[in-house]
C-alpha cells in the first residue's frame, strides 16, 4: 500500500527516483538524465539539477537528495 502511494506521488509531481554514484537516493524532475549534475549553489537552500548544454550548464529544476 505504501509503495503504491509513493508511485502516485511521483507520477503526479512529475518526479522520478534517482541514485547518485555514492549510493544516495533522491527525487528529481522526470527530464533529469544520467549525466546531469546535482549541486547546491553558494547561499542556496536546496540542491538543483544542472543539465549540460555543450560546455555550459543550465538549471533544470530543484531536487531532493
Q: Is 9:26 a contact under the CB 8 Å cutoff?
A: no
Min mean pLDDT across 12-21, 32-41, 49-58 is at 12-21
pLDDT-based confidence at residue 50 (cuts at 50, 70, 90): very high
Neighbouring residues of 8: CB distance < 8 A, sequence distance ≥ 6? none
Model confidence at 1: pLDDT above 60: no
- Predicted model pTM: 0.68
Query: For residue 14, what is its C-alpha cell?
Result: 512529475
Amino acid at each position: 500500500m505504501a509503495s503504491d502511494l509513493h508511485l502516485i506521488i511521483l507520477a503526479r509531481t512529475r518526479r522520478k527516483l534517482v541514485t547518485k554514484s555514492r549510493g544516495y537516493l533522491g527525487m528529481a524532475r522526470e527530464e533529469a538524465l544520467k549525466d546531469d549534475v546535482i549541486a547546491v549553489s553558494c547561499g542556496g537552500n536546496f540542491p538543483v539539477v544542472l543539465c549540460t548544454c555543450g560546455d555550459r550548464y543550465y538549471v533544470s529544476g530543484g531536487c531532493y537528495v
